Amino acid sequence: MPVTASSKSYRVGRSKTGLGLFATMPIKKGTRIIRYFGPILDSRIPEQDDIENKYLFELNGRWTIDGSVRKNLARYINHSCRPNAESDVRPRERKVFIRAIKNIEPGDEINYDYGTDYFKAYLKPIGCKCPSCETKRKKQRAEARAERAKVKARTERKAKKVAPKATKKKKLNGHAVGKANGRARA
């Protein structure tokens, strides 16, 4: 049975995506951090199936936990594509525990992967803001800037090569044609 973290091993704080859950003391890999809880909803009951909020945690095709209860601090755990925790779902018991999959240092944000369905429905349209995706986007923007700079430099080099050709005097029947003091030469 995994060790459960003490109740003071995390705190709610400000993160890049809003509020988040942060470690206040070291949390070892495999430790249960917190339980995700709230009223259990049955998808067979139309009134309960129509509830829409971003704190719904699906246990299976029938049961869902409504985590919007204020006491449920686990609802503040944000998504990450490279998480340091994972959900331990127990559908028969109708419980969900969040467990560390890496050692978490004090001050680190606790996060887990929300899954592909949630990602596609809610995160993809606005863009994932987890640290790994932010780093990936920064790298892509830097590469795009470098590519634009290369294209601009290439265009300027071509313009410099073309410019001397345009300033050369044109010859008409073997004679140079140009303007001198406002008059045309022949």
Residue 1 has pLDDT above 80, yes or no: no
DSSP 29-52: TT-EEEEE---EEETTSHHHHT--
Q: What is the mean pLDDT of residues 96-105?
A: 95
Under the banding of pLDDT at 50, 70 and 90, the label for residue 178 is: low
* pTM (2 d.p.): 0.69
- List, in order, residues 6 or more apart from 13 with CB less than 8 Å away: 19, 20, 21, 22
Which one is predicted more confidently, 163 or 56?
A: 56
Alpha-carbon gap, residue 144 to 184, rounded angstroms: 49
Give the start-end residues of each E strand in the chain. Answer: 10-15, 18-23, 32-36, 40-42, 56-58, 63-66, 78-79, 85-90, 95-100, 109-112, 170-172, 175-177, 179-180, 183-184
Chain segment 102-118, per-residue pLDDT in tens: 999 999 999 998 888 87
- How is residue 171 annotated by DSSP? E
The average confidence (pLDDT) of the chain is 84
Q: Which residues pair with 85 in a beta bridge?
A: 100
